[in-house]
């Protein structure tokens, strides 16, 4: 019957292909718009190509190591997992760079509804491709190896697939995050603050690099991040679905695979609802996007209840999966409040005192916003455990991500709308066009903030599920894993420090690369005669090249360091000490990621609130203070924060794959 799940995955790819066809056949606009879109597209793919070349330099030796230490089969699954992650990012960014100018043209000729339809179609491709490839890869490996190898070998093969996904995600998130924020900071500081020109002004030499960054960071990077969470959650649940004799419990594995398959079907229905509502103008954008996600979630919960009772003979596993899904929704709601409501107005008000008070207010909001999500995650964890034991913890992560197709579609829509606004500005469209794209972009900031909250929550539950699987695989007994043991406690302290070190490296990388972009933009304003007067063209390619080389050069050290930490911890502290590292990094990483994502999102939206005319509006002292705050928040919310998600999962999944073979 698992063939049915494989068929659902193929259906998801078919629907995604149909959406790509609909996007491609739509009107891309005039030659100026197409030229700008092509420049963004070329820059994005040039970066992605070089990023994958750098990644291969590390991935190939790592794959060979897997073959020697574990098995050639696991090397194969690692390679397939990495390939599918690359493919998901490539396809998603491909359609996003096609949909941006078509969204601008739809806003110009057919209004807000059609513009929303076009941007959402591009985002939906990413959501459906990520979910479909995850289901196809895991199900196919499970079907091929379940009956030909021992269950422990099959489990290692599945974990290898997850490690491949994590490996690509680390490079995509770190490299893309450094690029996008270095370009953004350079464009804002020199263009908006120093030169006083509008955002996305064609006179700004960093404007194309900034728009490229939206794609490589917030499309390819976010897609790889959630693909990794999706795969990791499913794999950890499958690994834990074992009987006392070490064989797979077929009832549990069927429940897991049917749950994610039905979730993909529910996501497809949610995508269709949003598209029809937007196309025919029947739904307001905010409500339409929420409705698609809500419908997908309700359908998924209903099917999971049926599957739990029918396959497992109890509603308790359903409580674990439903609890995970509800936790994700609640964390998203908390994130929305702190990044788009009263706290944002408070930050704007505090900006009357200048950049310092703006930053102080943003830090306070970020810290406060971390409390409720951690309580929600803790409640979901406890509820899942009491519902179905350690297997329930894994089910909570699976339940949260069953509707990833719909959730990621809403998230990936935002950068497309952002690009559409940039193209409208650079191509000199009527202000009414920019008003529509700005409305969609503003909504995209909210959906992106929700997406980050959802990604962090899913990362925490997935990392915990992977840790539970690690504990089971290495025989980590409760009486040995004791915080009174100095090795465990030392490991916990080291683990707590790892997200801080990782964040320091990535934030420093953004700063150093942004400085190079800032100097280049200043140089062009100074040396290109007539540039600020609009009588000369800037050298866009130069800033794209600087941001690309800086991001790629700086992403290698944090990536390699985090891959090495589990091995070093194990050899120094043993399996118990490594367990402490994993727990410490998960707890501190979740806190840091929520703080950075929400403070950065709040700073960003405070700036946008002032730009709508609140307080003294654009160009004012308050506005300049909010721009500085937004600039500080950029590397937090779009580089370091999201990268921590991958850090805590990658360390756990590498430990799960390698350590049982090193004991």
Give the angle 612-341-437 at the CA atoms, nearest 5°.
40
- As given in the structure block, the two tokens for residue 416 are 């497309």
Q: Are 232 and 130 in contact (CB under 8 A)?
A: no
The pLDDT assigned to 8 comes to 93
Kindly tell me if the per-residue pLDDT of 268 is higher than 90: yes
Q: How confident is the model at residue 267 (pLDDT cuts 50, 70, 90)?
A: very high
pLDDT tens-digit map of 561-596: 888 899 999 999 888 899 999 999 999 999 999 999
Rounded average pLDDT over 391-411: 86
Give the angle 517-523-525 at the CA atoms, nearest 5°.
105
pLDDT tens-digit map of 346-390: 999 999 999 999 999 999 999 999 999 999 999 998 999 898 888
Measured CA to CA, the distance from residue 232 to residue 463 in angstroms comes to 8
Lowest-confidence region among 122-126, 200-204, 261-265: 200-204
Measured CA to CA, the distance from residue 471 to residue 660 in angstroms comes to 10
For residue 269, how many other CB atoms are within 10 A of its CB? 15
Rounded average pLDDT over 41-49: 86
Measured CA to CA, the distance from residue 595 to residue 367 in angstroms comes to 6
The pLDDT assigned to 457 comes to 82
If 0-12 CB within 10 Å is exposed, 13-18 middle and 19+ buried, where does residue 3 land? exposed
Distances (CA, A) of 170 to 174, 246, 472, 525, 593: 6, 32, 26, 36, 15
Rounded average pLDDT over 271-280: 81
Distances (CA, A) of 230 to 103, 146, 381, 489, 613: 29, 21, 17, 30, 41
Rounded average pLDDT over 177-206: 78
Q: How confident is the model at residue 289 (pLDDT cuts 50, 70, 90)?
A: confident
pLDDT tens-digit map of 590-617: 999 999 989 998 998 898 888 888 888 7
Q: Are 216 and 638 in contact (CB under 8 A)?
A: no
- As given in the structure block, the two tokens for residue 111 are 């209004």
- The share of the chain scoring above pLDDT 70, in percent, equals 97
Measured CA to CA, the distance from residue 188 to residue 210 in angstroms comes to 9
The DSSP call for residue 282 is: -
Q: 248 in helix, strand or coil? A: strand
Q: Are 39 and 540 in contact (CB under 8 A)?
A: yes
Output 218 or 67, whichever has higher pLDDT: 67
Kindly tell me if the per-residue pLDDT of 484 is higher than 80: no
- Name 248's bridge partners: 242
The pLDDT assigned to 478 comes to 67
| List of residues 6+ apart from 202 with CB closer than 8 A | 425, 426, 538
Lowest-confidence region among 5-19, 88-102, 176-190, 375-389: 176-190
């Amino acid at each position: 019957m698992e063939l049915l799940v494989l068929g659902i995955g193929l259906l998801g790819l078919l629907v995604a292909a149909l959406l790509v066809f609909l996007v491609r056949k739509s009107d891309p606009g005039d030659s100026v718009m197409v030229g700008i879109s092509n420049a963004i597209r070329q820059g994005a793919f040039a970066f992605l190509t070089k990023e994958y070349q750098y990644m291969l330099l590390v991935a190939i030796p790592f794959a060979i190591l897997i073959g020697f230490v574990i098995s050639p089969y696991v090397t194969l699954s690692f390679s397939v997992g990495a390939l599918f992650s690359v493919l998901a990012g490539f396809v998603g960014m491909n359609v996003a760079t096609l949909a941006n100018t078509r969204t601008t043209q739809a806003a110009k000729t057919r209004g807000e509804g059609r513009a929303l339809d076009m941007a959402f179609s591009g985002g939906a491709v990413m959501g459906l491709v990520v979910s479909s490839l995850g289901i196809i890869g895991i199900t196919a490996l499970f079907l091929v190896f379940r009956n030909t190898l021992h269950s422990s070998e099959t489990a290692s093969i599945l974990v290898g697939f997850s490690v491949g996904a994590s490996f690509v995600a680390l490079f995509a998130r770190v490299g893309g995050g450094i690029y996008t924020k270095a370009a953004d900071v350079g464009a804002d500081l020199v263009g908006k603050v120093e030169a006083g020109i509008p955002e996305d002004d064609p006179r700004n030499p960093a404007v194309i690099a900034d728009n490229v960054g939206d794609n490589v960071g917030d499309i390819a990077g976010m897609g790889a991040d959630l693909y990794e969470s999706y795969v990791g959650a499913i794999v950890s649940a499958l690994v834990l679905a074992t009987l006392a004799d070490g064989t797979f419990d077929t009832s549990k594995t069927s429940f897991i695979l049917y749950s994610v398959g039905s979730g993909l079907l529910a996501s497809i229905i949610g995508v269709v609802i949003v598209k029809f509502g937007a196309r025919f103008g029947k739904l307001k954008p905010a409500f339409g996007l929420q409705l698609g996600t809500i419908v997908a979630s309700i359908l998924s919960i209903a099917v999971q209840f049926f599957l739990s009772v029918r396959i497992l003979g109890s509603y308790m596993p359903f409580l674990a999966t439903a609890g995970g899904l509800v936790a994700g929704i609640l964390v998203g709601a908390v994130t929305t409040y702190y990044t788009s409501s009263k706290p944002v107005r408070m930050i704007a008000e505090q900006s009357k005192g200048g950049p310092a008070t703006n930053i102080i207010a943003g830090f306070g909001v970020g810290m406060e916003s971390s409390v409720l999500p951690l309580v929600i995650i803790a409640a979901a964890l406890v509820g899942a455990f009491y519902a179905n034991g350690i297997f329930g913890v894994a089910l909570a992560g699976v339940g949260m991500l069953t509707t990833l197709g719909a959730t990621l579609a809403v998230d990936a829509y935002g950068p497309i709308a952002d690009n559409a606004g940039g193209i409208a500005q650079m191509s000199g469209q009527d202000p009414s066009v920019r008003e529509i794209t700005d409305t969609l972009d503003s909504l995209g900031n909210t959906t992106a903030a929700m997406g980050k909250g959802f990604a962090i929550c899913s990362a925490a539950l997935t990392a915990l599920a992977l840790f539970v699987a690690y504990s089971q695989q290495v025989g980590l007994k409760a009486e040995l894993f004791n915080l009174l043991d100095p090795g465990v406690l030392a490991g916990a302290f080291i683990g707590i420090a790892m997200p801080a070190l990782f964040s320091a490296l990535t934030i420093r990388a953004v700063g150093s690369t942004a400085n190079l972009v800032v100097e280049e933009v200043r140089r062009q304003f100074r040396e290109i005669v007539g540039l600020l007067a609009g009588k000369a063209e800037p050298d866009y390619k130069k800033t794209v090249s600087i941001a690309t080389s800086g991001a790629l050069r700086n992403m290698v050290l944090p990536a390699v360091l985090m891959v090495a930490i589990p091995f070093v911890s194990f050899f120094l502290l043993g399996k118990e000490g490594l367990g402490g590292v994993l727990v410490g990094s998960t707890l501190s990483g979740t806190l840091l990621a929520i703080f950075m994502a929400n403070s950065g999102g709040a700073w960003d939206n405070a700036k946008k609130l002032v730009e709508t005319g609140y307080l003294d509006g654009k160009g004012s002292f308050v506005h300049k203070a909010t721009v500085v705050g937004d600039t500080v928040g950029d590397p937090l919310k779009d580089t370091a924060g999201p990268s921590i998600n991958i850090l805590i999962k990658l360390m756990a999944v590498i430990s799960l794959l390698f350590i049982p073979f090193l004991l």
